[in-house]
Each structure stands twice: as structure tokens, then as C-alpha cells.
Chain A
Amino acid sequence: MTRLAAFLAFWAIALAAAPVRAEQLIVALSTEEVRITSNFTGTSIAVFGAIERDAATVSRAEFYDVVVSVKGPSETVVTRRKARYVGIWLNSASRTFVNIPSFYAVNSSRPLSEVTTPQILKRFQIGADDLVFPVSADDDAETAGPDDEFRKAFIRLKQQDGLYRSEAYGVKFPGTEIFQTAVQIPANVPVGRYVVTVHLFRDGAMLASDQSEIRISKMGFEQFTFDLAHNQGLIYGLICVILAVFTGWLAGVIFRKD
């Protein structure tokens, strides 16, 4: 309900502000909750949508472009660089990035540079290169620019883990005003609140946006174990020890020779 209310409110404002841009985005997700259970090996979230135009909208020759981005819960990450000291490689310099998305996927109908201008990409933080990377106060700079080597390394390592991904032609148009895409969620995905943002462009101009949420959470045993380990470490540790001693004892009983 809140989503719908937010949606309506957004459109009330959007329509009042820009009566000329009369396109409306209607977005549906294949799921609103991803459950991590013991057999979880990753999943994919399908995003469907339709572009609705009212009768007054002028029909133009240009095609629509759609950019779908999925942002995971933010985290603080230390990026470290190894250096060689007396023949041994060890972590030396580091940079701490604060409040950056733990997961970031962007699917678009065309490469981002063709969809719109660099200014708009930067303003709306679309694409990993245009995300703002705030740096911890201990480090020298306030934010890390696109050429910062720690930032580059961060994005590269995240891409290797499948946690930062982009598909330049990932959004398909089965009809002229209907689009669909699938965002891959790998097995090592962090749990939490995910924000799915859909931007509609035509001719480089942003016509409409839509935001919705997905929850990714551990379920049942996985959730219970994780909570216990993090909130009741002592009890969890004792359970592990009892389990270990019991397993050892059981093996002795089963394999007893005499």
C-alpha cells in the first residue's frame, strides 16, 4: 500500500511539475522477497514494465530507452593494497569507503553513454562509474573520483564476485511500449533491503522514474543460526562444542572395536 501511495504521490508531483512529459511507467517485479535457504545458489529477478501515454502526448519517432538498476544495502568497506616488504607481500595502504551499495546491478536497453548525457548519469548516479564513493574521514579525500585506483579496484573486485554487474543490452522491448529484463542475484549476495529503480529516457531526456523494493533475507534455519551466532555468541559457541563432543563420542560408539 505504501508503495502505491508513494507511487501516486510521485506521479502527482511529476505530473504537476512537467505536464508535457506525460509518459507513465508501470513496473512489476517477479518477486518482492528473495529467501535464502540451505539450497540457495542464486536467483534472478525479472522486472517487467509498460510505458503508458495519455492521448495528449505527441508521438515521436525516437525510441524509448529504459535503465533498470538494483542497489543493495549500503556497507562500509576497506579496500587494501598489498605491497612488498623484504620479499613478503602484505597489506599496506588502504582506503575506507562509507555507505556504498554492497550490490549494484544496472541493465539498460543500450549502453549508458548512448542512452543519455554524462551530466544526467552523474546527477542520478546511474552506473557504477557515476556512483558517489564517500571516503572515511581518516582518509585524505572526501570522495573518491572515478580515477582513484582504490575505487577502480573496488569496482573490479565487486565485478569479479558478481556483486557489481551491468548489461548494456539487458533490457528488451517485446513491444514498443513494453519492456522486460532479468537481474541476476548471485549466491553470495548480502541480505537486506534492495531498491529497484527504473528510469525511462527518450532522446537523452529522462521522462519518468519508478522505485520499488525487494527484501533479500535468510530464512528458517539459516536465519536462526546467523542470529544466534551474532546475538547470542556464547550460547551458539556452547552448542557448537556440545555438538562436537557428541559427534566425537558417537563416532567412538559406532566404531568401537571391543
Chain B
Amino acid sequence: MQIYLPIAELPVNMFIILGMGGAVGFLSGLFGVGGGFLLTPLLIFSGISPAVAVASTTAQVVASSASAAIIYWRRRMIDVKLAGVLVASGILGSSIGVGIFSLLRRWGQLDLVIAICYVTFLGLVGGLMLTESIRAMINARLGRPAPLRRPGQHNWAHGLPFKMRFKRSKLYVSVIPIIAIGVGIGILGSLLGIGGGFILVPALIYLLRVPTNIVIGTSLIQMTGTMAVATVLQSTSNHTVDGVLALILMVGGVIGAQFGARVGAHVRGDQLRAMLALLVLGVGIRFFVDLVHTPADLFSLATLAGDTR
């Protein structure tokens, strides 16, 4: 069934978009990630302009992370104070990100920067995750216990000034790294249309030593808050959030996520992480190939504001 998207200004097959949202939702439920990093590229590869794809996925990420955040909220697995600091700095970050987004559109370099960021971050995170999960799998096969993590151990991030106490996380750390993480994820999120969970969760665990049982709930609150603000900013400054597209993606996404989460419960953690790592690397490689491969057409059209024509 064809449906006309009012902001993207083109008709799409509703069931294809619904299926896309469902498939990405399934994977995000399976791996416990937001799925924005898969959805934005999928939309771009299917012909929707990067500007609309990024902004509409932002709205979709709000839905999927809010859905999951509510569950963690009920179980009280959230550090509200830490989430508050992260959201506040995330809002600052997404304001910067949306500003950069508008500038790049005008210069005609948005697609390039999106592609380069995807290659860099997906390549880096995918590579790290893959080595870590392979090491875990080898350890499991050899019957060796996984190397013990020492949550109490301090690193350089704990030596900085402006310390703040987070009771729920049993932390007494400087706010500087927290704000830096929040701002960084905010910029990336609004620029790339991703929640950034796959960067935020490891950063909170390894850099700040946030206990693993509250890290996911806290990062979900950060994503919901930051991406909600990013959605509003994108619609006020770039007018590129397609509500119809976002709604179809949301519906597909939240349904898919429920099934993904059920399947995910039956798969071993290290295997899940290895699969996710391969997926992340695959998307990164796809963007890399597009960057270096001679394009079929060297020319492109755009309006002055940067809308692809």
C-alpha cells in the first residue's frame, strides 16, 4: 500500500517501511540497543533524503527508548540524579548537533559527514565489541573464568575536580566526564539520528564504573530525554521530521522489539555481542564502500537549504 509522506514529499510502500521498523525493532530488542544506527542507513539506502531520515529516526528512537525506559522505571533500576546530569548535558549536545546539522546541509556536506561518522564510530565500536566477544567465547570454550572486573577500581576519570555524589550508583565522581559523555552523545545523536546507547553504555561502565544493573535504565532515560529534545530542535530549525514516516517506524519498531527481546533471552551474551558487532561492522563497511567507490553519478541537486531534490 503506497502512502504519501508529507515532509519527505514522496510516496513509499507502507508495509516496506513497517517491515523495516519491525526488523530493526527485532534486532534492537534482541541486542538491547536503540537501533537508530541501523534504521537511518536503511532509510537512506531506500531513497529517503539523509536529512529526513536522520530527523525522523530521532523521533522513532524516542518511542523505542521510552518504551524500554518505562520498564526499568517500574523496576527502579535507574539512577535519577545521574540521568538528570546526562540529559541536561545531552540537551546541550543535541543543540550543538542540530546547529552543525543545519550548517552542513547548507554547505552540501551533510551526507559526507554522516557517512564519515558512521564509518568511524561503527568501525571502532564494532571492532572493539567483536574482539571482546571473541575473547569471551574463547575463554568460555577453554573453561577459563572471564577476567574479573573490579568496579571499585579507579581510573583517570576519577581524579578530576567538581566531584558529585550519586547515591543510587554508589559513585563519587567528577561531573566533567559525565557532562563530556552527555554532550558527545547528544551531538552524535542529533547528527546521525542514533540514540547512542552502544557508545553510552560502555562509556558509563568502563569510564565511570556505573554498576551494570542500573546502567541500561539510566542510559535509556538519557536517550529518551536527549532524543526528544533533538526531535523538537530538528522540527524547529530544519523542518525535516516526517511524522507519518516516524509513526510507521515506531509502530513497527515497538512490536519488533517485543519479539526480539523474547528471542534474545535464549541466546548467550557473548554470542549476542558477536552478532551485534558483525552487524555494526557491516553497516560501517557499507558506508565506507559508498565513500570510496566511484559514484554512479557525480552530480547531485539540492535546494539552497540543503534539501535533496
Is B297's CB under 8 angstroms from A88's CB?
Answer: no
Is B108's CB under 8 angstroms from A91's CB?
Answer: yes
Is A247's CB under 8 angstroms from B63's CB?
Answer: yes
A224 CB to nearest chain B CB (Å): 8
Closest residue of A by beta carbon distance from B299:
A153
Partner pick for B298 among A38, A75, A81, A187, CB 8 A cutoff: A81
A80 CB to nearest chain B CB (Å): 5
Is B70's CB under 8 angstroms from A78's CB?
Answer: no
Cα separation A238 to B243 with both chains bound (whole Å): 11
Assess whether A28 is interfacial by the CB under 8 Å rule: no
Cα separation A94 to B294 with both chains bound (whole Å): 18
Is B232's CB under 8 angstroms from A238's CB?
Answer: yes
Is A229's CB under 8 angstroms from B228's CB?
Answer: no
Assess whether A41 is interfacial by the CB under 8 Å rule: yes
Say what secondary structure dominates the interface of chain B.
helix
Closest residue of A by beta carbon distance from B246:
A240
Is B108's CB under 8 angstroms from A244's CB?
Answer: no
Assess whether B222 is interfacial by the CB under 8 Å rule: no
Is A241's CB under 8 angstroms from B228's CB?
Answer: yes
Is B299's CB under 8 angstroms from A237's CB?
Answer: no
Is A89's CB under 8 angstroms from B303's CB?
Answer: no
Is B231's CB under 8 angstroms from A233's CB?
Answer: no
Is B300's CB under 8 angstroms from A91's CB?
Answer: yes
Contact indicator per residue, chain B 220-257, by CB within 8 Å of chain A (1) or not (0): 00001000100111111101010110110011001101
Partner pick for A234 among B64, B65, B68, B235, CB 8 A cutoff: B235
Assess whether B279 is interfacial by the CB under 8 Å rule: no
Is B232's CB under 8 angstroms from A88's CB?
Answer: no
Interface footprint category on A = 35 or more
Is A77's CB under 8 angstroms from B236's CB?
Answer: no
Chain B residues with CB under 8 A of A37: 4
Is A157's CB under 8 angstroms from B11's CB?
Answer: no
Chain B residues with CB under 8 A of A218: 6
* Residue from the set B295, B301, B302, B303 with the largest chain A CB neighbour count within 10 Å: B301
Is B292's CB under 8 angstroms from A87's CB?
Answer: yes
**Interface positions of B from 1 to 41, Cβ below 8 Å from A:** 2-4, 6-7, 9-11
Cα separation A248 to B293 with both chains bound (whole Å): 39
Is A236's CB under 8 angstroms from B299's CB?
Answer: no
List the interface of chain A (C-beta within 8 A of B).
36-41, 75-84, 87-91, 94, 96, 150, 153-154, 156-158, 161, 187-188, 190, 218, 221-223, 225-226, 229-230, 233-234, 236-241, 243-245, 247-252, 255
7 closest A-B pairs by CB: A237-B235, A248-B67, A248-B66, A251-B254, A237-B232, A153-B299, A244-B62
A-B contact pairs, 25 of them (CB 8 A): A41-B4, A75-B303, A76-B304, A78-B302, A81-B298, A82-B295, A89-B293, A89-B295, A96-B304, A154-B301, A161-B309, A188-B9, A188-B10, A218-B6, A223-B6, A229-B7, A230-B239, A233-B235, A236-B243, A237-B231, A243-B247, A244-B60, A244-B231, A248-B65, A249-B70
